Chains A and B, each alone.
Chain A
Amino acid sequence: MAYVSMGEAHRRITEYLNRFCDSVSYQDSSTLCRLLSFSSNSASLLSLADALNVFQDASSLIRQSDKFTEYEEILTHLFRSLQSYRVGNLVEAYLAFEKFANAFVQEFRNWESAWALEALYVVCYEVRVLAEMADKELTSNGKSPEKLKAAGSLLMKVFGVLAGKSPKRVGALYVTCQLFKTYFKLGTVNLCRSVIRSIETARIFDFEEFPTRDKVTYMYYTGRLEVFNENFPAADTKLSYALQYCNPKKERNIRMILKYLIPVKLSIGILPTNELLRNHKLHEYINVVQALRKGDLRLLRHALDEHEDRWLVVDCSCVDSSAIRFLRSGVYLVLEKLELQVYQRLMKKIYINQKLSDPARAHQLKLEVIAKALRWLGMDMDLDEVECIMTILIHKNLAKGYLAHKSKVVVLSKQDPFPKLNGKPVGS
């Protein structure tokens, strides 16, 4: 913390107070945003914080002028929060910011137009981010983290304020997305349901009215929820929307969308090119896609298994296996389900091979031949196991035909023996 003289501190605080009150009077949202954005760690905010910690009695300054006293409650809490933030007392910083936010939202309610919406966004963002920092501090001190949960409640309140007929309702989607981020972080994803219901069924909201940026984020999170629930057609629609309307310059966001969209597309039989995977640094899917292309079961198992892939360590500090990484992102179960499609591909390859050498009998796949192909891939299966899998493939319509168990052969139908998925997931 830099040394600040009392005079200088006085000057800085008064300057801030003036800026704040002017921005409200002149409805200057962008200035107000800058004044509230703690986590940006801007030089001016940090220097203000230093000044506050030196001056100590900022309230007296606020009460000095009528211009400032109008916002006394808001400013007092704001200053206290900033002071705590500066010295690293993040729990205190959050608590004070929460009080500030409550007071600010009350004022916001009284402002007729939606001029301060951007500033409200900043407040919501800071509430969430400060709560996360506070929880980290609590955990490191052996206490149970509860501030992010409180932030969730506050954000719900803000949502309620925006859910009305006024033009402010356009901000509801931004707050929704902050709520999504909060719930995802907390793991209480089921809480998303109620706010989704409000957005999608309430008559006051028209989805098309919301800013594109917020719509993209919304579709990303709701798409992810569909992935968790394995509703693939819905997940495809939402994530594809997010991809389509995402700002092409936001590479990180595109990558995040693709991370979930790719497994969904794979489950409905649509494969990305290796180029796409490389361009967006999604190397973890290269083996999976290759396994699907070649019918290589061993490769699929390898891509999903416990071995640690050191070369895949891009942004994590610890080395985790692919299984763990996929489990963490929530796509593991989706990828595992691809196994039957890989079997289908393998059968198709055997069929195509046989067509070349003996076209008259190509549609008869001997179980022994299949077992041999699997052995070649390093998978040892007895004929009963092979028969079981072939039965399932046919039952789930990944292959058409029948199984003559006595003759130990699968007889494929002459027409379209391996139906395409056609946008529908396996077994539907």
Chain B
Amino acid sequence: MNKTLSAADVQASDVRPLPVLEETLRYLLSLLDSTEHSFEAVHDFIFDRTRSIRQDLSMQNLANERVIHLYEEISHLCVYSVDFIILTLKWVLIQVKFHVIARQRLQSCSTTSISSMHHLNMEQLAKTLTTLYDIYDANRKPDYIYQNEAEFRSLYVLLHLNPSSGVMGEPMALWFRKLTSVLIKSKEMCFVRNLLRLYRMGNYKNFISALASEATYLQYCTSEPHIREMRSLAVQCINNVCYKLQPYPLLRLSQNLMMKEVDVESLCHECGLETCTDSDGCIVLPTKQPNLRRPEEGFKGYDLIGFEMKRLL
């Protein structure tokens, strides 16, 4: 797999025309299904290639329907990659737990390399979305939105639910100001605005259930870190607020957070809290424990139970 050319090396004659770029992207998408190379190698290669596609596009200053489609596809790639990364990490952690992993695999798939992959992906997603929005705006016909525009716009909201995450920088209030009425009223935007409201309120139960019932696959992938946040918040709240003499049953919590009970237990431990078994044999969380801590920044996304992912293809 060849190295990318740096921007300085690329000359006008090297810039590929649109049909070539489209073909390149089609080829890259086909690689996702390949089992020949490790995911990391595939990821790095695809990352480099999509970045160079974006460079070629921006140098030619192209902005039309076909280009929009290209950018949308690249955004898809980024989000799919997130999913692959999370799956890969889960797989790695399970392996570690049961001591079956080959040392080489472990070395080449360390948490730090996955963490940086994830970060790069989020950055590329953010940049691609920004460019995509500029093109949407530049080609704006009154009262018209492109076929997938509402969903791709909704991803911005989901990336920015937490203002301190600092992904793109502009305050949400300003971003909403610029949207057209048609966009604001779209089903996807109403959905994420509702999620935003629930998130900011801290309403962990309804946030998770709303997400599970309505999110598209892309929206779900982009929201995964926030599901984790809301679940941690739930554990935190329950520990702080609930009656000391009535330890909280994990089964109940697992239903509200749409998690497996064993995952809830794991999350409690991540938060520095101890669980125990009561006289009926149920696992409970004793409350008002003083050792509550923020769980480590990580991608240990526990499964969302009862969620059927609607793939957008």
Q: CB within 8 Å of B: which residues of A?
A: 144, 187, 189-190, 227-230, 306, 320-321, 323-324, 327-334, 336-337, 339-340, 384-385, 388-389, 391-392, 394-396, 402-407, 411, 427
The chain B residue sitting closest to A337, CB to CB, is B200
Chain B residues lying within 8 Å of A144, measured Cβ to Cβ, are 138
Residues of B close to A334: CB separation below 8 A: 173
* Among B15-23, B45-53, B123-131, B236-244, the stretch in contact with A: B236-244
One of B174, B203, B240 near A389 (C-beta < 8 A):
B203
Chain B: CB-nearest residue to A326: B176
Contact bitstring B45-76, A, C-beta under 8 A = 1, else 0: 00000000000000000000000000000000
**Beta-carbon contact of B177 and A187 below 8 Å:** yes
Which of A227, A323, A402, A406 is the one whose CB lies under 8 Å from B241?
Answer: A402
Which residues B230-250 have CB closer than 8 A to chain A? 234, 236-238, 240-246, 248
A405 touches B190 (CB 8 A): no
A sample of 22 cross-chain residue pairs with beta-carbon separation below 8 angstroms, ordered by A number, consists of A144-B138, A189-B174, A229-B171, A230-B163, A306-B190, A324-B185, A327-B179, A330-B173, A330-B177, A333-B173, A333-B176, A334-B173, A336-B200, A337-B201, A392-B201, A392-B237, A394-B237, A403-B242, A404-B245, A405-B248, A406-B243, A407-B246
B172: interface (CB < 8 Å): yes
Bound Cα distance A396, B237 (Å): 9
Q: Do residues A384 and B205 form an inter-chain contact, with CB atoms below 8 A?
A: yes
Does B220 reach chain A (CB closer than 8 Å)?
no
Within 8 A of A (CB), among B256-297: 256
* Contact between chains at A320 and B181 (CB < 8 Å): yes
Q: A336-B197, A388-B205 are in contact. Are A404 and B243 (CB under 8 A)?
A: yes
User: Given A327-B179, A392-B201 in contact, is the A384-B256 Cβ separation under 8 Å?
Assistant: yes
Q: How far is the CA of A389 from the CA of B202 in the complex (A)?
A: 8
Alpha-carbon separation in the docked complex, A117 to B200 (Å): 47
CB distance from A101 to the nearest CB of B (A): 29
Q: Does B166 contact A (CB under 8 A)?
A: no
B204 interface residue (CB < 8 Å to A): yes
Interface of A is mostly: helix
On chain A, the residues within 8 Å of B236 by CB distance are 395
Which chain A residues border B170 with CB–CB below 8 Å?
Answer: 189-190
* B31 lies within 8 A of chain A by Cβ: no
Residues of B with C-beta under 8 A to A403: 241-243
Point out the residues of chain B lying under 8 angstroms from A329, CB to CB: 177
Instruction: Quote the shortest CB–CB distance from B26 to chain A (angstroms).
Output: 31
* Cross-chain contact B181 with A396 (CB below 8 angstroms): no
Q: When A187-B178, A402-B243 are in contact, do A339 and B201 touch as well, CB less than 8 Å?
A: yes
Partner of A392, one of B163, B169, B176, B203: B203
Report chain A residues within 8 Å CB of B246. 404-407
Residues of chain B with a CB closer than 8 A to A324's CB: 181, 184-185
One digit per residue, 1 when the CB lies within 8 angstroms of any chain A CB and 0 when it does not, for chain B 185-229 equals 100001000001100111111100000000000000000000000
A427 and B237 alpha carbons, distance in the complex (Å): 13
Which residue from chain B places its CB closest to the CB of A407 in the assembled complex? B246
Q: Closest approach, in angstroms, between the C-beta of B164 and any C-beta of chain A?
A: 12
Q: Is the CB of A228 within 8 A of B241?
A: no
Q: Which of B174, B243, B252 contacts A228 (CB 8 A)?
A: B174
Contact B181 A228 (CB under 8 A): no
A227 cross-chain contacts in B, Cβ below 8 A: 173
A230-B171 in contact given A320-B181, A323-B184 (Cβ < 8 Å):
yes
Shortest distance in angstroms between B94's beta carbon and chain A's nearest beta carbon? 31
CB pair B176 A332 closer than 8 Å? yes
> CA separation between A72 and B302, bound complex, in Å?
75
Q: Find the A residue at minimum CB distance from B206.
A: A385
Q: Which 9 A-B pairs have the closest CB atoms?
A: A404-B243, A388-B205, A330-B173, A406-B246, A395-B237, A392-B202, A228-B173, A228-B171, A391-B237
Compute how far the CA of A60 lies from the CA of B69 in the bound complex, rounded to whole angstroms.
58
CA distance A324 to B179 in the complex (A): 10
B181 nearest in chain A by CB position: A324
> Do A411 and B243 contact each other (CB < 8 Å), given the known contacts A187-B177, A323-B184?
yes
A contact residues around B241 at 8 Å (CB): 391, 394-395, 402-403
A427 to B233, CA, bound (A): 13
B184, B202, B204: which contacts A327 (Cβ < 8 A)?
Answer: B184
In the complex the two chains form, what is the Cα distance from A24 to B206 in whole Å? 69
CB proximity of A59 to chain B, nearest CB, Å: 39
| 6 more CB-based (< 8 A) A-B contacts, given A395-B241, A407-B246 | A187-B177, A229-B171, A321-B185, A332-B176, A395-B240, A405-B252
Question: In the complex, how many angstroms separate the beta carbon of A342 from the nearest chain B beta carbon?
Answer: 11
Taking a contact as CB atoms closer than 8 A, the residue among B172, B203, B256 that contacts A333 in the complex is B172
CB distance from B275 to the nearest CB of A (A): 16
B202 — nearest CB in chain A belongs to which residue? A392
A404 touches B242 (CB 8 A): yes
Instruction: With CB as the reference atom, state the residue of chain A lying closest to B238.
Output: A391
A406 to B242, CA, bound (A): 10
Q: Do A405 and B205 have beta carbons less than 8 Å apart?
A: no
